[in-house]
Amino acid sequence: MFLAKKLFLYLITLGIFFTPLSLPAAKENQETKQNSSLTEINKILYQRAKQLGGEHYVLLKVTEKIVNVRSGPNTDFDVKFQIRNDNVLWFLNNRWADWIDVLVIYGQNDTKFRGGWIHSNTVVGYNKPFSLNDVIDSSKGVPTGFRGITWGATIKEITRTNINLIPIEDFSLTKGKKTYTRKDEDLQFDGITVKQIKYSFFENRFYSVILRFNSDDWWKMKRALERRYGKLSGFSPDKAIFRTMSRNFETLKIECIEMQFGDYKLCYLRYKYIPIYKKSV
């Protein structure tokens, strides 16, 4: 008993029994340091996000090992750069369906920034919970295709849906472009009779549609587009343009155009899916 007591006092002298008591303090210091670092990141990001028009200041943490950051909100847009699961991101209150606009901090002392789009399932909230339900979806109301054909769909995917495409001659100089009409096509568009509807593919993916109509229906077509898509992005006596844009990308451009060739007028309505269109020119 005497020896046990003496051994106990000796261990206390060495500080062994006091070691666990110091752990909470060490953990607290570590958390304080982390919070201090996060505060500095917040200050830098807050200023930068204000410059870019961000309003919903949420820090995000990457959960995947490698994530592609793209120039727009789907896989048709180019990859700008990649980030790792130790990157901290700033969400810029810009949503397009399930994709989000982020600002990535990197470099020494986290002082450099790059922006782009990532899928929302690759991140979680860092300093507060993150939910897409709190953010307005900018893609609402934007056409995802034309008459049942989704932008970017392949011909093989389309034929599975029992849509019958008929190849026609294409006089374009664009290599890799093919054009089709549709069997039994309805040639009415918002009560306007059109002459022809042509569907164009680049490298086997749907990216453009052209509707030719009579010049007498130019103003009717303009009003029909305004009913469908709202305010014009641009207008002149021979052109009406609707752009579906976010802060830093464009996904779809709709043009209503009138061209004069002597006494002859050519009028057409054209939808262009921008991510693939850019690759075709």
Question: Quick one: what percent of the chain has pLDDT higher than 90?
Answer: 36
- pLDDT one-digit tens code per residue, 215-243: 899 899 989 988 888 877 777 777 888 77
Which of 33-37, 96-100, 260-264 shows the highest mean pLDDT?
Answer: 96-100
Q: How many domains are contained in the chain? A: 2
* Predicted pLDDT at 251: 87
In this structure, the answer to whether residues 127 and 165 fall within a common structural domain is no
Residue 99: closest CA among 132, 128, 67: 132
Same domain membership, residue 155 and residue 247: yes
- Residues 110, 233, single domain; the answer is no
What's the pLDDT at 50? 54
The more confidently predicted of residues 8 and 55 is: 55
Is 155 inside any structural domain?
A: yes
Flag whether 13 is in a domain. no
9: in domain: no
Q: Would you place residue 178 in the very low, low, confident or very high pLDDT band (cuts 50, 70, 90)?
A: very high
Q: Where among 79, 106, 134 does a domain terminate? A: 134
Q: What is the CATH number of the domain that holds 78?
A: 2.30.30.40
- Beta pairing class for 192-202 and 205-213: antiparallel
Give the pLDDT confidence score for residue 136 in this predicted structure. Answer: 84
Listed in sequence order, the residues at least 6 apart from 77 whose beta carbon sits closer than 8 Å to its beta carbon are 70, 71, 117, 249, 275
Quick one: pLDDT at residue 48? Answer: 59
> Residue 139 domain-assigned?
no
- Do residues 84 and 30 share a domain? yes
Q: What is the pLDDT of residue 30?
A: 45
Identify the pLDDT of residue 45: 58
> What distance in Å separates the CA atoms of residue 58 and residue 38, rounded to the nearest whole number?
12
User: How does residue 12 score in pLDDT terms, banded at 50, 70 and 90?
Assistant: very low
Same domain, 204 and 235: yes
Q: What is the mean pLDDT of residues 30-39?
A: 48
Query: Do 162 and 204 fall within a single domain?
Result: yes
Q: Is the domain of 155 the same as that of 267? A: yes
- Per-residue pLDDT, 73: 92
67 C-beta neighbours (distance < 10 Å), count: 22
pLDDT confidence of 18, banded at 50, 70, 90? Answer: very low
Residue 101 lies in a domain: yes
Predicted confidence (pLDDT) per residue in 61-82, tens digit: 888 999 999 999 999 999 999 9
Supply the range of the domain harboring residue 84: 22-134
Domain boundary pick from 134, 160, 194:
134
End position of a domain, from candidates 70, 103, 134? 134
- Tally the residues of the chain: 281
Average pLDDT over residues 27-52: 52
**Shared-domain flag, residues 153 and 66:** no
**Over pLDDT 70: what percentage of the chain?**
74
Q: Would 173 be classed as within a structural domain? A: yes
Backbone angles phi, psi at 232, to 5 degrees: -70, 145
Same domain, 42 and 109: yes
Mark whether 82 and 153 lie in a shared domain.
no
**Are 122 and 154 found together in one domain?**
no
Q: Does residue 8 lie in a domain region?
A: no
Is the same domain home to 125 and 160?
A: no
**Has residue 11 been placed in a domain?**
no
**Which residues neighbour 126 within 8 Å (Cβ) at sequence distance 6 or greater?**
38, 58, 59, 60, 61, 88
What is the structure's pLDDT at 172? 81
pLDDT tens readout for residues 140-172: 888 899 999 999 999 999 988 889 999 999 888
Q: Looking at residue 246, what is its pLDDT?
A: 58
